[in-house]
Chain A
Amino acid sequence: MSSTRCYSSHFGWIVALIASVCTLFSFEVIAEDLVIKIEKGVSTALPIAIVPFENKTGEPLIDPAAIIRNNLERSGLFKSLPVNDMPALPSTLEDVRKKNWTSLGIENLVIGKLVKKKHGTTDIHFRLIDVYSGKQLLGYRIPVRDDDLRFGSHKVSDFIYEKLLDKPGAYTSLLAYITVDQGLDSDTVYRLQVSDSDGHNARTILQSTEPIVSPAWSPDGQRLAYVSFERNNSAIYLQDLATGRRERIIHGKGINSSPAFSGDGNKLAVTLSRDGNPEIYLYDFKSKSLTRVTRHGAIDTEPAWAPDGRGLVFTSDRGDGPQIYYHNLADNSMERITYNMGRYNTRARYSPDGRKLVLVNGAQGNYRIVLFDLQTKIYEAVTIGVLDESPSFSPNGAMIIYATVTKNGSQLAAVSADGFTKQKLVVQRGEVREPVWGPLIR
C-alpha cells in the first residue's frame, strides 16, 4: 500500500511530502547491490595489513577492515595481507609487535575498533601505523550511525589512501547508473540508481517504464540531471538527492539530452534539436535561459566541460564520421581534437586534471575505451571489449569506469587509469549502464 502511494506521479511540494513519508517505508527503494570482481592486479602494489577491527560494541556489526581491504585492493595500488596470514590481530598500539610485520614485508598496518557511543551510533577508531618507525601516521575516531558503518569504512579508506599515496581517495563518492530490466511478459523497467563507490548500498531514485539516459552529477554531489522519456519525448530533469524533489527543466521539440554541469554548477551544457538538428546549448540556472553554442548542420552532441571551465569538448560528425571537437567559450573558436584515430570517436570526458580525454573509439566493428593525451596527442586503448561505452573518470582521476556488453547484457567495468587493474561491477539480474562517478565530498 504505502509503496504504491510513494510511487505516485505528483510533483512539487507534494513530492517532498511523500518522499519524506517514503523514507519511513523505503523498502521499495533498496536495490540490488553491484558486485565487484577484480580481474587483474599488479605486483608492484603497496603491501599493507588491515587487521580485523575489534568489535567492543557487543553487537554483531560488519567489520570495517574487510571493507577497507576491498577498497584498497580494488585500486590495484595496494596488496593487502590475507587475515589468515596475519601473525597477530592487535587492536591497540601497545599490542603491535614490529617484528611480526616487518618479517612479512609489511610497512603499513591498520588497526582499529568499534565502540558503542549511544544507541544507534558507533565510533570507528582507526590508526594507520608505519611499522618500521613504530609511529602512528593517522588516528581518527569517526562516529557513524550503525547503518552507516559502510560509509564510515569508506571514509577510513579515503584517509589511508590519501596519506599513503598523497592523492585524494574517492571511496566516499557515490556512483550513479541506469539499470534496465527487460521484462519478457511485462514492461521494461528503467531505474536510476545511486550506490556507494564499491557498489553496495544501491538505491533506486527513479523508476520508469520509459528510457532514462545520461545521468550527470552536479559538482556539489547533491543533484543529478538526467534525460527521461516519460512524457513520450526526451526531456531533461533535475533531481535533488536528499529530498527526491525533481523538476523538468528543459523540454522542447526534438532532442533534449546530454546534460553536463559546469564546474561552478551555474550552467548546464545540453544537446537540443529544437532548431532542426542537434546543437549544443548552455542553460543558465539563474536566468533559466538558453544560449546556443554550436551552429552546424551536422550532429553536435555529448558536451563535456573542460575542468578550467573555458571550453567544452563535444562530438560532431561535421568531418569524416563522428569526431571530438573543442569549443572555446571565450572567443567561440573551434578546433578538431581527434585526427588519425579512425572514423568513430565519440563521447569524450576530461580527466580531473584536464590533461586527458577518455572517449569511445570505434574501429573494425569494435568499440573500445581510449585514453587521449591532449598535449602529446598520443592515444591508447584501455579496454579490449567489443561494445564498450560511457567512460568517465573517478573524481580523483585514478580509475575509469565504463559500460561493457557481455553475454549477460550490459555490465559496468572499471580500469585503473594506467590500464593495469581491471574490475567488473555486476548485477545479478538485468543490465546496468551509463555509470557516472559523483564528485569528491570533502
Chain B
Amino acid sequence: MGQLGRIATIFFFCASGTSCGIFPGGEPEEVVDRSLSPVPISEASVETMGLAGARELSPEALDGRLTNNLDAGAATLLDTRVFNFAYDSSQILEKYNAAIEAHTRYLIKNPNAKVSLEGHTDERGSREYNLALGERRAQSLQRRLSLLGVPESQVSVITYGEERPIDLMHNEAAYAINRRVEIVYR
C-alpha cells in the first residue's frame, strides 16, 4: 500500500495543453495516495565516543592493565588522547611525539590492548571530502604507531569527518579544536 508511484493515478479530464471549457464527467479510479511508512530507529548504540569520557580516562581505566609499570610521567603522556592538526593537513605535530611514544610503549607492553583511531575534521567544506580527510589523519597516526613497532592488529581506524565536532561554534578556535584524531582504548 501507499506506493509513491500512485501519484501517477491522478485523473485528468483534458489532455494537458488543450483548451476545454467544461469538466466532463467520469469517476476517478483511485485517489492520490502517497503515504510513506515510518521506519524503525536504526541500531545506533547509545554509547558515544564523546571526548569528555575520553579525557576522564586515566591509565587505571585502561582495564587496569599494567598500571603498576607506569610512572607518573608516562601516565600524564597517556592522558593525551587527542591530537590536533593544521587546516587541510594530516601531518602529525611534533609536540605530540612524546605522547605518541608513550602510547606505543603501552600498546607494545599490552598486546591485548586495542585502540581505535578516530579521525575528525572541522566543519568547513564538503562532508564527504571531510570524511576522507578524517581517515587520512587517523591513518597518519596509524602509520606512525606501526613504524614505532605497534602490531597492526592492535590498531583500527575510523573516520567521522565533520560529523562529531567537540566545539559547536563556527570560528577558527572551534575549528582548531575539532581537527583531530582521538585515540580510544577498547
Chain A residues in the interface with B (C-beta under 8 A): 6-10, 15, 18-20, 22-23, 26, 28-29, 93, 117, 121, 123, 125, 135-145, 148, 151-152, 155, 159, 162-163, 172, 182, 187-188, 194, 203-214, 220-222, 228-234, 239, 241-244, 246, 254-255, 257-258, 271, 273, 277-278, 299, 301-302, 315, 317, 321-322, 344, 346-347, 360, 362, 365, 367, 386-387, 389-390, 405, 409, 434, 441-442
B21 proximity list for chain A (CB < 8 A)? 93, 136, 139
Chain B residue at minimal CB-CB distance from A26: B38
Which of A117, A211, A229, A387 lies in contact with B170, CB distance below 8 A? A387
Contact (Cβ within 8 A) A211 B160: yes
Instruction: Identify which of B51-59, B65-73, B77-85, B129-137 touches chain A.
Output: B129-137
Flag if B128 contacts A315 (CB, 8 Å): yes
Whether, in the assembled complex, B157 has its beta carbon less than 8 Å from a beta carbon of chain A, the answer is yes
Pick the contact of A405: B4, B17, B170 (CB < 8 A).
Answer: B170
Give the interface SS of chain B, mostly helix, strand, loop or mixed.
Answer: loop
B42-50, B91-99, B102-110, B146-154 - the one binding chain A: B42-50
Interface size range of chain B in the complex? 35 or more
Asked if B10 lies at the interface with its beta carbon under 8 angstroms from chain A, I say yes
- CB-based contact A23/B45 at 8 Å: no
- Residues in B whose Cβ lies below 8 Å from that of A243: 37
CB-based contact A257/B36 at 8 Å: no
CB contact list, B113-135 vs A, under 8 A: 123-129, 131-133, 135
- CA A110 to CA B172, docked complex, whole Å: 52
Query: For residue A182, which residues in chain B have a CB less than 8 angstroms away from its CB?
Result: 168
17 contacts between A and B (CB under 8 A): A15-B40, A19-B39, A26-B37, A137-B19, A139-B21, A140-B14, A143-B32, A155-B32, A208-B41, A213-B128, A231-B43, A234-B131, A234-B159, A242-B2, A317-B129, A362-B125, A387-B170
B60 within 8 Å of A by Cβ?
no
Nearest neighbor of A403 in chain B, beta-carbon distance? B127
Within 8 A of A (CB), among B1-40: 1-5, 7-8, 10-14, 16-17, 19-23, 28, 31-40
If A125-B23, A137-B19, A139-B23 touch, whether A214 touches B34 (CB-CB below 8 Å) is: no
Kindly provide the distance from the CB of A147 to the nearest chain B CB, expressed in whole angstroms. 9
B163 proximity list for chain A (CB < 8 A): 211, 213, 229
Q: Known pairs A9-B42, A208-B44. 10 more at Cβ < 8 A?
A: A8-B41, A22-B38, A23-B35, A140-B13, A145-B31, A187-B48, A194-B36, A206-B42, A301-B128, A347-B126
A22–B44 touching, CB < 8 Å: no
